[in-house]
Structure 1
């Protein structure tokens, strides 16, 4: 049986979030002054739009009103998505980050240090990445086992060309 409030909230809310076609990524209860804030983070393989967030927020609010898990005091419910620079902690997070630039913190066994690379493919054992070339050098491929990754976080890219632009540029150069 669950013992913490977060675990009990997860048991209550996860089936409802799943029924909306979303994954329950995170639950946090924080105190802000005299108020409490329940933050719920949801996502899916295709992302979550504002309508889905609003629908799941209403459903969660109704479910919480039926239960006594948040107690009698006031609280605010905030439902959102993980954000642009999300930390990758589950296999599904890596799959969703394919074609994204990620900063990896490597374990001691993998040589420690940090590596910034683009995720190309994910399977059950690890991640195929492309390490960008530096100073005119070509990009290199690198395979990372999940056991080699201590931490991974998606990086925001402001100047990245989409694949159509890259294809057009390559055609012009030929």
Structure 2
């Protein structure tokens, strides 16, 4: 029942969240006594601040009130941002994790830790053991961010930045060659 309700509410809530300039990461509806708990997890390229959470809460609350026939009763709305332990499951998660350390468990092979570089639609470039490595999302069983208490080494950031410039130049060259 709650999963079905979440499925009906998701497009409505996603539109309200997009209208505020953010992405809906997850929507969950649970029965909590006589009320329903509607939990909305949102994210943005620059994170989500408290003022923005309040703005999103007002927008989502307004659309839920306008569609009260779907909820059919009292509800509690909880709007939050993803925690640092959120898995990297979509290309946008990887893009937002640029320059951060991630622990990757591939479907096959050994787990590794690397610094996230350019993230495309199908793969991400990572700096692993001082070498650039392309990681296809389909090969990743699980990936999570590692918590760092100090700034990343400048040399690592420079390698990733230089690699990103090389990728852009290579893509432009390939595009020109294809059009000729």
**TM-score with structure 1 setting the length:** 0.78
**Larger helix percent:** 2
1:70 match: 71
1:75-103 CA distances to partner (integer Å, 9 max, x unpaired)?
21110111222211111111111101111
TM-superposed CA distance for 1:35, in Å, is 4.2
1:125 match: 122
Quick one: which of 135, 140, 164 aligns to 1:144? Answer: 135
Q: Distance in 2 between matches of 1:65 and 1:123?
A: 38
Bigger mean CA offset, 27-36 vs 49-58? 27-36
Q: Distance in 1 between matches of 2:70 and 2:107?
A: 38
State the aligned residue count. 153
1:87-126 CA distances to partner (integer Å, 9 max, x unpaired)?
1111111111110111111013xx2x31111101112331
TM-superposed CA distance for 1:55, in Å, is 0.8
Q: Distance in 2 between matches of 1:15 and 1:59?
A: 10
Quick one: which of 152, 156, 171 aligns to 2:147? Answer: 156
1:29 match: 29
1:109-163 CA distances to partner (integer Å, 9 max, x unpaired)?
xx2x31111101112331111124xxxxxx2322211121112111211233575
**TM-score with structure 2 setting the length:** 0.76
1:172 match: none
RMSD across aligned positions (CA)? 2.2
> Equivalent residue of 1:84, what SS?
coil
Bigger mean CA offset, 27-36 vs 152-161? 27-36
Q: Distance in 1 between matches of 2:32 and 2:78?
A: 13
> Equivalent residue of 2:89, what SS?
coil
